[in-house]
């Protein structure tokens, strides 16, 4: 019997430990009630009209306050006026200098046109033809090309190509020069190529970037590039060029110099002499 009594007491003690007591239940109920009270305060009604009236009062106070105004001192006004005046003077000076520069450029262009006869910066595609049987005594200038089939007694200047199949007695300046069975007495200056065809006779010096000679020339040839002397060519004069090609049958009475070549010929001989 004693054994069963002890077992009953231990079992009762274990059940009491597992089951919460009255004090713990009371504490949990109080906590839940407090939580309900906090939640219920959020559900209270708000007086909307009173809150709006407070906001309107604040807006009226803000509106009634005057905005701050900027105060400009007379000294500041005077400084601004001086700065504005300086800027205006600078602008007027720049405008005057620009106008003066334009006037100088126009004057130089007019003077160049009067001296040369053409505008060197302007090149036209048109070709002026001096027909056969036409004879002109005087200088001729053109922004385009000129084809001389008649006779010109004067200097000829053109920005394009100068073609002579007639007679030209005068100096010529052009971008290209071509003579075919022509008679030219005067200096031939070209910024490009000079071609003297078969049957042409030129009495005068030739200056160009390159040259092909198949006619007769009495004068010096000064060419920065190559020179080709064809079989039918007759040259009485010195030749200066970068390179010279002389075909079999050509006649040259003069001195040939490749002074414009890239090779320093004299330096080569000086080096050998030193060694």
41-74 pLDDT tens trace: 444 555 666 665 665 665 555 555 555 555 555 6
Find the mean pLDDT for residues 84-94: 70
Question: By C-alpha distance, which of 225, 176, 230, 170 is closest to 199?
Answer: 230
Question: By C-alpha distance, which of 185, 158, 169 is closest to 135?
Answer: 169
The CA–CA distances, whole Å, from 97 to 83, 86, 107 equal 21, 17, 15
Question: By C-alpha distance, which of 231, 232, 220 is closest to 257?
Answer: 220
The length of the chain is 275
Q: Any bridge partners for residue 235, and if so which?
A: 217, 252
DSSP structure class, residue 261 = S
For residues 220 and 264, which has the higher predicted lDDT (pLDDT)?
A: 220
Q: What is the rounded CA–CA span in Å between residue 98 and residue 254?
A: 55
Instruction: Please answer whether residues 179 and 200 qualify as being in contact, where contact means their C-beta atoms are separated by less than 8 angstroms.
Output: yes
Q: State pLDDT tens for residues 25-45.
A: 555 555 545 544 444 444 455
Find the mean pLDDT for residues 141-157: 95
Question: By C-alpha distance, which of 166, 246, 179 is closest to 208?
Answer: 179
* Residue percentage of the chain with pLDDT more than 70: 58
Find the mean pLDDT for residues 177-203: 96
Predicted local confidence at residue 226, as pLDDT: 95
Predicted local confidence at residue 69, as pLDDT: 54
Find the mean pLDDT for residues 185-213: 96
pTM summary value: 0.55
Q: What is the rounded CA–CA span in Å between residue 216 and residue 199?
A: 8
Give the three-class secondary structure for 63.
Answer: helix
Is the per-residue pLDDT at 103 higher than 70? no
Find the mean pLDDT for residues 192-201: 96
Percentage helix, strand, coil for the chain under 3-state DSSP, each rounded to 5:
40, 30, 30
Give the three-class secondary structure for 43.
Answer: coil
Predicted local confidence at residue 38, as pLDDT: 45
Instruction: Please answer whether residues 152 and 167 qualify as being in contact, where contact means their C-beta atoms are separated by less than 8 angstroms.
Output: yes
Residue 156 CB: number of other CB atoms within 10 A? 26
Predicted local confidence at residue 42, as pLDDT: 44
Find the mean pLDDT for residues 216-242: 96
For residues 84 and 243, which has the higher predicted lDDT (pLDDT)?
A: 243
Q: Which two tokens stand for residue 168?
A: 């030209």
Instruction: Please answer whether residues 118 and 134 qualify as being in contact, where contact means their C-beta atoms are separated by less than 8 angstroms.
Output: no
Find the mean pLDDT for residues 237-247: 95
Find the mean pLDDT for residues 261-270: 77
């Amino acid at each position: 019997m004693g054994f069963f009594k002890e077992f009953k007491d231990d079992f009762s003690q274990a059940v009491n430990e597992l089951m919460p007591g009255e004090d713990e239940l009371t504490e949990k109920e109080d906590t839940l009630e407090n939580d309900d009270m906090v939640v219920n305060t959020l559900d209270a009604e708000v007086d909307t009209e009173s809150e709006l009236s407070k906001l309107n009062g604040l807006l009226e106070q803000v509106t009634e306050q005057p905005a701050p105004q900027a105060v400009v001192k007379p000294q500041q006004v005077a400084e601004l006026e001086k700065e504005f005046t300086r800027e205006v003077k600078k602008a007027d000076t720049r405008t005057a200098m620009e106008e003066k520069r334009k006037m100088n450029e126009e004057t130089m262009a007019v003077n160049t046109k009067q001296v040369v006869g053409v505008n060197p910066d302007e090149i036209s595609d048109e070709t002026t033809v001096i027909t056969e049987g036409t004879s002109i005594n005087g200088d001729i200038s053109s922004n385009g090309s000129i084809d001389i089939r008649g006779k010109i007694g004067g200097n000829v200047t053109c920005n394009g190509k100068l073609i002579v199949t007639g007679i030209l007695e005068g100096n010529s300046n052009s971008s290209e020069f071509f003579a075919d069975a022509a008679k030219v007495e005067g200096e031939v200056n070209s910024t490009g190529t000079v071609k003297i065809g078969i049957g042409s006779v030129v009495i005068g010096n030739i200056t160009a970037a390159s040259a092909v000679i198949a006619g007769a020339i009495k004068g010096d040839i000064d060419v920065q590039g190559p020179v080709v002397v064809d079989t039918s060519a007759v040259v009485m004069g010195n030749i200066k060029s970068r390179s010279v090609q002389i075909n079999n049958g050509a006649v040259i009475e003069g001195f040939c110099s490749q002074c414009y070549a890239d090779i320093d010929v004299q330096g080569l001989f000086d080096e050998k002499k030193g060694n």
